Amino acid sequence: MPIAPDGTYYELHGPEDAPVMVLIHGLGLCSELWLPHLKALSQNYRVLNYDIYGHGKSSLPPQEATLSVYAKQVSELMVHLGIEKAEIVGFSIGGMINRRFALDYSDKVASLVILNSPHNRGEELQAQVEARAKFVRDQGAMSTMESALKRWFTPDYLEKGDGAAKVIEWRKMVDSQSYAQAAWVLANGVRELIAPAMPITAPTLVMTCENDTGSTPKMSHDIANEIPGSKTIIIPSLQHLGLMEEPTAFTNPILEFLERVHS
């Protein structure tokens, strides 16, 4: 099992001499989130898929979790593997981590893909998300599971698909304290990404789903408006975990975007 010196579990897929793509999963999930995407993504990319601290098979964070701690995890993993630059793809909190990474390690970013990731929520929604994070800290990682599944999947998929069972399994793998810290980073950490003093300059694609209530189309447009030359795509009908329901609705636009960027 490949483990980096800091305890990060990772996998590599695709041609060894191809450009590198790093995949960052969301809160309470793990690197298995990307399994339906790997065949397409690894055709022409060397895909680095890993577990963030305290999730999946990775060790606990070396200090209290922050976006910068998670961004440094990516940087150190790239150094360990001799990777100088990569396409950085992040989902949800992963789309916050890759933005922090682009701000802290801009020379290591070939392009940025931000999927279903929050931005300026406004005072009312921000208060709700922070209250939910505090509730998880007090009541445990599984305490919000039922309501989360309804926010994340369409009713039809929730009834007939296997995504809910996988998400429950993945969340049970997460260290409880690490989950609480990551939930607070997801809630509160977004503040440091709004209109940063030094804007992100990497070629960027921002995507979300039409009915994602936590990472809304407006948020994606707002993120894109702060990154010069970036592109926004809104996937119809789906909710937060649309990339599990319809993987090709995400992989195809990502690959098309990267092809344009590097053509």
Judge whether 2 lies within some domain. no
Average pLDDT of the segment spanning 184-210: 96
Q: Which range marks the domain in which residue 87 is found?
A: 10-261
Between 29 and 1, the more confident residue is 29
Spatial distance between the Cα atoms of 142 and 245, rounded to a whole number of angstroms: 22
The one-letter code for the residue type at 90 is G
CB of 212 closer than 8 Å to CB of 240: yes
Q: What is the DSSP string of 125-153?
A: HHHHHHHHHHHHHHH-TTTTHHHHHHHHS
Spatial distance between the Cα atoms of 177 and 158, rounded to a whole number of angstroms: 28
Question: What per-residue confidence (pLDDT) applies to 181?
Answer: 97
CATH number for the domain harbouring residue 125: 3.40.50.1820
CB of 91 closer than 8 Å to CB of 99: no
195 has a pLDDT exceeding 90: yes
Spatial distance between the Cα atoms of 66 and 178, rounded to a whole number of angstroms: 11
Judge whether 177 lies within some domain. yes
- Angle CA 57–101–178, to nearest 5: 35
CB of 119 closer than 8 Å to CB of 219: yes
Indicate the pTM of the whole model.
0.97
- Interval 53-89: pLDDT, tens: 999 999 999 999 999 999 999 999 999 999 999 999 9
205 has a pLDDT exceeding 90: yes
Judge whether 74 lies within some domain. yes
DSSP three-state, residue 212? coil
Average pLDDT of the segment spanning 205-234: 97
Judge whether 5 lies within some domain. no
- Interval 167-184: pLDDT, tens: 999 999 999 999 999 999
Judge whether 84 lies within some domain. yes
Question: What per-residue confidence (pLDDT) applies to 83?
Answer: 98
Q: Is 134 exposed, middle or buried (0-12, 13-18, 19+ CB in 10 A)?
A: middle
Judge whether 44 lies within some domain. yes
pLDDT, mean over the chain = 96
Judge whether 40 lies within some domain. yes
- Interval 114-134: pLDDT, tens: 999 999 999 999 999 999 999
CB of 21 closer than 8 Å to CB of 94: no
Question: What per-residue confidence (pLDDT) applies to 99?
Answer: 98
Judge whether 153 lies within some domain. yes
State the total domains in the chain: 1
CB of 114 closer than 8 Å to CB of 88: no
Question: What per-residue confidence (pLDDT) applies to 136?
Answer: 87
